[in-house]
Amino acid sequence: MKIQAFLLCALLSAGAARAADLPALWAERVKSTVAIEYVTQTELERRPTVSYGTVVDTNGTIILPSAAIDLRIAPKQLKDFKVYLPGDPEGTPAEYLGRDAYTGWHFLRAGAAVRDRLVPITAFAKTSREPQLADEVWGIGLRNKDEDFTPYILQSHIALIQSLPQRTAIAQQEVAGPGLPVFNREGEFMGLGASSFGQTFLEFSGAERDGSPIMLVNLEESSAFLAAGEVIPYVGRIPSNAFGRPLAWLGAYGLEPMDREVATFLKLQSQSGAVVSEVLEGSPAEKAGLKAHDIILGVDGKPLPRFKPDRVVIDYVERLIAARAPGDAMVLSILRGSERVEVTARLDDEPRLVREADRMYFEKIGFTAREFVYGDAIARHAKVGHTGGVVAHLVKPNSPADIAGLRPDDWIKEIDGSEVGDFAAAVQKLSGIEKDMMRSETVFLVSRGSDTAVLRIKLH
């Protein structure tokens, strides 16, 4: 009994010591967290947004989760980035560096004025131990701007560890804000808060005897976090430009997970597969001989791991591509019918994206014309390289264009009976209409899905 009592006292003393150390650990580790505020400047408004980030080096580099910035927004529309330290009401300017396609993170850099008050998360990454079930972990959350981004602590235990495809720990309850760090009891960095996981509940009311399922999502806190091993090796992937280029591109479109019944029939239960829905015109996949309905079973001689749920394999394959550079070779092991073949694709730079497309707003008509890019042709099942026109990117409410029935994403193929060759030709034509004070209307021929419509836009 005396031995048991001694051991119990020792455990209680160790726990008390760790608990006593937590305020000191907190005081240093909270310096790795920041709030970021920026403005999205559109033709009609300035929309402020707040997100939370983690400092990753001594140069004041900060990473934000992918969802922090809408990928449809052009970088030049992102204005006035500011860094706020937890509990400090005064923000200081920051620079947007771009998004890394492999990690999905957005990178920013804090101004020199606050860098000496920041501590990179790498200072606390002193262990290579992976998170384990039942580990006690704690993390940081930040309140809203009207509360000066006051930091607060969250604590929990790890309940589940999965590959999604990145190694992800899921705690019993919320353990950090999305994009903010998680630590163990010794203060070692264990991971980075992931996007919030929704939780399903049954809702009952007096009028209903059966419960109706509802989904609740906590946008400010998350019970899931990426393991440190999925974070620390990649904090140096700072983009060289705002678009994150170069971007490796294969051109296998609409990947779908291999059906489990098909996998059982083919005796492939121990691995995953990605089914190719479509091979894009002119893509590296087409040049390599990849075909629709091919099943990708491996890359560079390694079979695709078995993932649960099955759809995770799509993210895994896309990350394998994103980790490479244009010009790299990628050997794909393919199941085509009953035949196994290998194809070698040499990756190319991804075609111009929507967020890179040129655009211009025309006040008199009331819409923004956007350059037609490769992705527009794919979405509309048009032949690549033989398309013209522009896309209606934004339509101002109650403007002449809106009243005439123009809608965002309409493909404008003709203006006043003349085909629109490209964006430059459209700008020239539309600018002339804007300047002509005597003109009372203009006519657009637009394509919307499988329909074509003639829109008569009254300018006065």
Beta strands in 135-237 (DSSP E): 136-142, 151-163, 167-171, 181-184, 189-193, 199-205, 208-216, 224-227
Which amino acid, one-letter code, is at 286?
E
Residues of the chain with pLDDT below 70 are 1-20, 127-128, 196-212, 214-218, 386
180 token code pair: 């903010």
Strands 61-64 and 256-257: what pairing?
unpaired
> What's the CA gap between 149 and 91, in Å, rounded?
11
> What's the CA gap between 268 and 168, in Å, rounded?
25
pLDDT value for 7 = 39
> What's the CA gap between 182 and 139, in Å, rounded?
4
**Which phi and psi angles does 97 have, rounded to 5°?**
-100, -25
389 token code pair: 């026109």
pLDDT value for 265 = 84
Contact in structure between 347 and 327 (CB atoms under 8 Å)? yes
CB-CB neighbours of 223 under 10 Å: 23
CB-CB neighbours of 207 under 10 Å: 5
Contacting residues for 367 by C-beta, under 8 A, at least 6 apart: 361, 392, 393, 394, 395, 396, 399, 401, 402, 406
- The CA–CA distances, whole Å, from 264 to 268, 274, 297 equal 6, 15, 14
Going by the DSSP 8-state scheme, the letter that residue 222 receives in this structure is: B
pLDDT value for 214 = 67
Instruction: Note the pTM of the prediction, 2 decimals.
Output: 0.89
Please name the helix (run of DSSP H) or strand (run of DSSP E) that holds residue 340, with its range, or none.
strand 339-346
Start-end of H helices in 122-265: 260-265
**Which phi and psi angles does 8 have, rounded to 5°?**
-65, -45
Please name the helix (run of DSSP H) or strand (run of DSSP E) that holds residue 432, with its range, or none.
helix 423-435
Contact in structure between 38 and 96 (CB atoms under 8 Å)? yes
> What's the CA gap between 38 and 15, in Å, rounded?
42
> What's the CA gap between 81 and 367, in Å, rounded?
27
> What's the CA gap between 25 and 188, in Å, rounded?
9
pLDDT value for 210 = 61
pLDDT value for 334 = 95
- The CA–CA distances, whole Å, from 34 to 119, 135, 181 equal 11, 26, 11
45 token code pair: 């408004």
pLDDT value for 221 = 92
